[in-house]
Structure 1
C-alpha cells in the first residue's frame, strides 16, 4: 500500500470514529429528558488494517455512565414514587455540547488530512504526466 493510500486510510478511520462519537453524543442530547436514561460514551482503540497493516483508529465498546441519576420532584409524573420523586437521566448538556465540539474539530482535522493527501496524490500524478 502506498503512503498516500495509508494516509487516506488513517484519515478515513478517524472520520468514521468521530462520526460514531457524534452519533452517541446526539443520542445523549436527545434523551436528556428521558427518565432512567444513562449517558453513553464511546472509547477509541488502536487497530491495524488487515489488508495493508496500516494503523487505524476504531471505536471500542459503548460504555454507560454509572453515576447517580438525577432525582427529580414532580408528584404528577407517572413514574413518581410516594414522595413525588423519580429518577431522571444523568446527561449533562454542557458536557455533551463540549464533547460534540471536540468531535467536530477532530472530524474536521481528519477531513483536512484526507483532503491534503488527496491533493498531494493528484499533484504527483500531474507531475508524472508531464
Structure 2
C-alpha cells in the first residue's frame, strides 16, 4: 500500500510541475508581442522522495528580435527596437508536451487510486 501512496505522490507532484510549466507557456504566448520580453523557462528538479518539482524560473538569454518601426515609442534613432524572443511554434510544442505529461501523470494517479481502492475492498472481506 505504501508503494501506491508513493506513486500517487509522485504523479501529483508531476501534475503540479507540468501545471507550472503550462502557466509559463501561457505567459510567454500572452507576451509574444511585448517589446523587450524574454521567454520564461522552468526546469524540473527531482527530489529525494521520488517526487519532482518545478525549479527556478529563468529567462531565455537568446537574442531579442530587432524590429524596424520608426514610429514605435521604444525605437532608437535608427528606427529599430527590441521585440521579444518568444517563438510561438516552440511555445505551442511546449504546451502540448506539458499537456501530455500532465495527462500521463493523471492516468498514473487514477490507476494507483483504483488499485488502492481495490486493495481496501479486498481487505474488508
State the TM-score bracket (shorter-chain normalisation): over 0.9
Which consecutive segments of 4 or more residues in structure 1 shift more than 2 A? none
- Matched with 2:39 is 39
Q: Which runs of 5+ in 2 are unaligned?
A: none
1:106 shift after superposition: 0.2
Q: Deviations over 1:2-30 (max 9, x none)?
A: 11110110011101100011111111001
1:89 shift after superposition: 0.2
- Matched with 1:92 is 87
1:83 shift after superposition: 1.5
Q: Quote the Cα distance in structure 2 between the aligned partners of 1:3 and 1:66.
A: 41
Q: Which runs of 5+ in 1 are unaligned?
A: 49-53
- Counterparts in 2 of 1:9-88, with a 5 A limit? 9-48=9-48, 54-88=49-83
Q: Deviations over 1:59-105 (max 9, x none)?
A: 11111111110001111111011121110000000000000000000
Q: Quote the Cα distance in structure 2 between the aligned partners of 1:56 and 1:94.
A: 30
CA RMSD, Structure 1 to Structure 2 (Å)? 1.1
TM-score, structure 2 as length reference? 0.96
1:126 shift after superposition: 1.3
